[in-house]
Amino acid sequence: MPDSKSKMQTNSAVGDYCLALQPICDQHLRHVGDELLYRNNQFAKCAQIDNPLVATARVTHMAFYEVGVEALTGSRQLFFNVPREWVLNPDLLPPVTDHVVL
């Protein structure tokens, strides 16, 4: 089965990294959402994360502020895991729309 994740890459002062979108399907196999994932480069097949908080900050910044949620997912929902620190301090959370599931 081919890799079904789509990826976007950015260059930063601390190195390359990219986001990946893992499709989420309903019981009828319709593509209804995407899970936001961090990858340390565009060829990575799995996550290699030194600091989970930094990885989440990088990928959410790219998704919300550089690319835009609608550009990534259209009308589908975007799912992503939220670090405990962000739940305790909601000011750290990116803007939440009706298309975002934390």
pLDDT in tens, 49-78: 888 888 889 999 999 999 999 999 999 999
Query: What CA–CA distance (Å, rounded) separates 60 from 67?
Result: 10
pLDDT value of residue 8 = 55
Please tell me the pTM assigned to this model.
Answer: 0.76
| β-strand partners of 39 | 18
Give 49's contacts (C-beta < 8 A, 6+ positions apart).
Answer: 38, 40, 55
Of residues 45 and 2, the one with the higher pLDDT is 45
**What is residue 33's predicted lDDT score, i.e. its pLDDT?**
96
User: Can you tell me the distance from the alpha carbon of 80 to that of 62, in angstroms, rounded to the nearest whole number?
Assistant: 13
Task: Encode pLDDT of 11-52 as tens digits.
Answer: 443 457 888 999 999 999 999 999 999 888 888 888 888 888
Contact 83, 74 (CB under 8 A): no
Given this model, what pLDDT does residue 86 score? 87
